[in-house]
Amino acid sequence: MSPTDGPDRVTITPYRDGPYLVRGSFELLDQDGNEIELSRRTIALCRCGKSRIRPFCDGTHRLTGFRAPGRAEQPDALLDVAVEESHG
Amino acid sequence: MSAVNAWLSPAARLIALPAARGPWTQRLFSALLKHPGAEIDIRDLPLPERALQDDDAQLALYIAYELHYTAIDGVDERWEWAPSLLGFRAALEERFSRAVDDLVPACSVEETIDVGATLQTLVAQDDGPALSRFVETQATREQLLEHVIHRSAYQLKEADPHSWAIPRLSGPAKAALLEIQFDEYGEGRPERMHSALFAETMRCLGLDPAYGAYVERLPAITLATVNLMSGFGLHRRRRGALVGHLAAFEMTSSIPNRRYGNALRRLGYGPDATGFYDEHVEADAVHENIAAWDLAGGLARAEPHTAEDILFGARALLALESLWAEHLLGCWRERRSSLLASADTA
């Protein structure tokens, strides 16, 4: 069985205007290689940079108006967002 | 309450019938002590004019729903499905439902197209009173305890009302709900169940963590916030509203819970007391995404006709939470308790 299916499969999903959700059998390590304790099976990693419990999400993106798509960003889309923001 | 619970494991639920508050609770409670199915004549009872503010009607509805969640001391368990009880409950549900309908604006067709995105907008535009900010920075210890007592009506059975949706969903929406609920119920560790964490917070604050210990102190609007989700949960046709309610609940949870944890820290409480709130900051930052996009979005994709009710459930949650917060802040502005006087001291 390949690691991309079955129970060991790990997925990372960007949720629109929110964090990355990580599911599956994985470890989270700090840059020194020490394990960061996980308190649940599915975790949310901060994507807006403003969380106070990084690397985990704490919902702060709601207060800061963080915008990001729930899929891979395209270079053109980056331009559109910049234009929209400059008008907003 | 502690005396009633003395012969049961602390994990078992058993409540005592509270004192009656008016004609609806009097009629219901006296019937519940008789054989199951005894007649409950409601023809001469005055229908509640303002159902959300009616302490008597909300308590009667709350206890009618509690038959599905808990044992009640001296009440035959067969009452849960007794036709006379269901008829009594339906009369109150009709008034309650009408009052909620009056609060919730109709949704537009455009809003139902992308339910996940609309939920984000609804939550972002919600301008309910800043209860969590007040509690974080200004609440006294007594006000903080009141807040915890109000919330005990739901938090000691946290996640249970939304579990009624499990057999009524299928596919991705069902998987999403279970992903949330597994975490709510401690991922197999009973001491990590969110209801158990809340009981621990109550213990640390010197409150009685027994299920139902404070029912008599809870005013109509507090009971209404719980009756709302029980009502959605116990009627399969309202599965959309139940899912929308959960989504909006999760989406408005992380930041307030951080503030409530800060309030406890400000008043000198340690990690055992704040554990419930700290857990919710991180947990609900996960759940809110699953609830909005995978659960609510998943149900709307599977059953497009539920989209309208999903948004109704979310708006109803926001509207009732707002009324509840106004009640607390209003009482506190007038320097009085937001709870009802206990029967002993009244």
Which pLDDT tens digit goes with each residue over B215-246? 999 999 999 999 999 999 999 999 999 999 99
**More confident of the two residues B238 and A77:** B238
Q: Give the pLDDT confidence score for residue A9 in this predicted structure.
A: 92
Distance CA B131, CA B139 (A): 10
The predicted model gives B252-270 an average pLDDT of: 96
* Å between A77 CA and nearest CA of chain B: 18
Closest-CA residue of chain B to A54: B282
* Å between A33 CA and nearest CA of chain B: 23
Q: What percent of chain B has pLDDT over 70?
A: 96
The answer to whether the predicted template modeling score (pTM) of the entire model surpasses 0.90 is: yes
Q: Give the pLDDT confidence score for residue B12 in this predicted structure.
A: 80
The continuous run of DSSP H or E covering B72 comes out as strand B71-72
Contact call for A39 and B279, based on CB within 8 A: yes
- Which of A13, A15, A38 has the highest number of chain B CBs within 10 A, making it the mutation to test binding with B? A15
The predicted model gives B72-87 an average pLDDT of: 97
Distance CA B68, CA B26 (A): 20
Identify the band that residue B8 occupies on the pLDDT scale cut at 50, 70 and 90. Answer: low
> Measured between beta carbons, which residues in chain A are less than 8 angstroms from residue B289?
15, 18-19, 21, 44
Which pLDDT tens digit goes with each residue over B42-61? 999 999 999 999 999 999 99
Q: Give the pLDDT confidence score for residue B128 in this predicted structure.
A: 82
State whether residue A29 sits within 8 Å of chain B by CB. Answer: no
Which pLDDT tens digit goes with each residue over B153-163? 999 999 999 99
Residue B85: which of B41, B22, B21 has the closest Cα? B41
Distance CA B126, CA B234 (A): 27
Which pLDDT tens digit goes with each residue over B264-288? 999 999 999 999 999 999 999 999 9
Answer whether residue B13 shows pLDDT above 50: yes
Residue B169: which of B298, B71, B315 has the closest Cα? B298
Identify the band that residue A48 occupies on the pLDDT scale cut at 50, 70 and 90. Answer: very high
Distance CA B176, CA B245 (A): 15
Identify the band that residue A81 occupies on the pLDDT scale cut at 50, 70 and 90. Answer: low
Torsion, CA B316, CA B321, CA B327, CA B328, rounded to 10: 170
Nearest to B120 among A17, A40, A44 (CB): A17
Q: Convert B176-193 to b/e letters by CB count within 10 Å (16 or more is b).
A: bbebbbebbbbeeeeebb
Answer whether residue B322 shows pLDDT above 50: yes
Q: How far is CA B3 from the centre of its chain?
A: 25
Q: Give the pLDDT confidence score for residue A82 in this predicted structure.
A: 55
**Segment B233-237 long-range contacts (CB within 8 Å, at least 24 positions apart):** B233/B161, B233/B162, B233/B163, B233/B164, B233/B165, B234/B65, B234/B68, B234/B164, B236/B168
Contact call for B183 and A40, based on CB within 8 A: yes
User: Under 8 Å CB-to-CB from A26, ≥6 apart: which residues?
Assistant: A10
Answer whether residue A50 shows pLDDT above 80: yes
Q: Give the pLDDT confidence score for residue A7 in this predicted structure.
A: 72
Residue B19: which of B40, B1, B42 has the closest Cα? B1
State chain A's maximal CA–CA distance in angstroms. Answer: 51
Q: From start to end of A1-88, where are the E strands?
A: 11-14, 20-23, 43-45
Q: Give the pLDDT confidence score for residue B219 in this predicted structure.
A: 98
State whether residue B247 sits within 8 Å of chain A by CB. Answer: no
Q: What percent of chain A has pLDDT over 90?
A: 72
Q: From start to end of B169-265, where are the E strands?
A: none
State whether residue A59 sits within 8 Å of chain B by CB. Answer: yes
> Measured between beta carbons, which residues in chain B are less than 8 angstroms from residue A59?
253-255, 258, 281, 284-285, 288
Residue B52: which of B223, B248, B211, B235 has the closest Cα? B223
The predicted model gives B203-217 an average pLDDT of: 96
Closest-CA residue of chain A to B117: A16
- Which of B265, B274, B286 has the highest number of chain A CBs within 10 A, making it the mutation to test binding with A? B286
Reported ipTM: the value is 0.88
The predicted model gives A65-88 an average pLDDT of: 72
Nearest to A44 among B258, B289, B293 (CB): B289
Q: State the pairing for strand pair A43-45/A20-23.
A: antiparallel
